[in-house]
Copies of this chain bind each other. A is one copy, B any other.
Amino acid sequence: MDTRRDFLQNALTLTGALAAGTPGHPLLADEASGADLSEPGSDAGRHLHIGALIYPRMDQIDFTGPFEVLSRVPGSTFHVTWKEKRPVRDHKGLLLTPEEALDAIPPLDVLVIPGGPGQEDLMDDEVVLSFVRAQAARARCVFSVCTGALICGAAGLLKGARATTHWGAFDLLGYYGAIPVERRVVVDGKLVTAAGVTAGIDGALRVAAMLRGDRAAEEIQLGIEYAPEPPFRSGTPSSAPPEVLEAVRARISDLTLRRLSTAKRFAKKLGVEVEDGGIRPKVGKEKP
């Protein structure tokens, strides 16, 4: 037992000595406004229900990234849901298993909507869109990752909202009435949108902080040792070498065209004005 105590003491000294009191970056002021979802008062500590929609041909880490963070939010239950409880395969074949059908989960405090190629198949799926709308109306936070934002758009949740999505679909946001914002995570009231794929981890840490405070989010971050060091600088179109960008853009061009066609259809449906030529929709009014 002494040795064990010594080990802990040793580890404490070794690591504690390095622990400078560096405070976390505070949420940016412009985004923090209206973004505190914690409820002061008697039910501030009440149990939270966090749920993620999963579906065929989604991109799995759009969901498993946020799951990693949000399943660790103190005092919460994480729900994984789809139309039926049978496993679905992600875009690259990973099996993901929903445990509750859409109509069986309780009102959610946070609804996570991942993206991926399969998102296109949900854009006219009224069962899914009704679920999203009904949950969104009551939720404290709707959190989309990647092209999950387009599902929010199809559900009418983006009109007038600042939002982001995967770089390959960014120009489509305006067709849904959104105000596109080129940031990794955009918070507009209870709508949180993360950029492509892995941005869901950054977004989820923001959501965790909004729900239970910065300290809780920081503890989660340390537990999952989230101090990323990408070995290359190719994570965005502006930092990647041009040949890399062209190769990836070519690979997704068919999907991009399908998404553009869908977006134009929704612009009409949602009454969003689109400028001549159909390239760039007018954006909604900037919020004060």
Contact = CB atoms under 8 A, between A and B. Distances in A.
Interface of A: 3-4, 6-8, 10-12, 14-16, 18-25, 27, 59-61, 64-65, 67-68, 71-72, 78, 80, 87, 92-97, 99, 146, 166-167, 171, 184-185, 195-199, 201-202, 205-206, 209, 214-215, 217-219, 221-249, 251-253, 256-257, 260-261, 277-280
B202 A201 contact: no
Contact of A171 (B7, B217, B228): B7
A248 B227 contact: no
A253 B8 CA distance: 8
Contacts of A94: 64, 67, 71, 80
A75 to B, nearest CB: 14
A98 to B, nearest CB: 9
A23 B248 CA distance: 16
13 contacts: A7-B171, A10-B279, A20-B238, A22-B233, A60-B67, A61-B67, A61-B68, A68-B92, A68-B197, A222-B234, A223-B251, A227-B235, A228-B235
B237 A15 contact: yes
Contact of A7 (B15, B201, B260): B260
Contact of A235 (B221, B231, B239): B221
A225 B238 contact: no
Contact of A224 (B10, B196, B215, B249): B196
A235 B225 contact: yes
A20 B245 CA distance: 11
B225 A197 contact: yes
Nearest to A3: B278
Given A201-B198, A218-B244, A231-B25, A78 B97 contact: no
Contacts of A224: 59, 61, 196-198
A205 B16 CA distance: 31
A170 to B, nearest CB: 9
Contact of A195 (B27, B205, B225): B225
A22 B209 CA distance: 34
Given A95-B99, A230-B227, A22 B239 contact: yes
B209 A16 contact: no
A197 B92 CA distance: 21
A19 B80 contact: no
Contacts of A199: 225, 228-229
A225 B166 contact: yes
B222 A21 contact: no
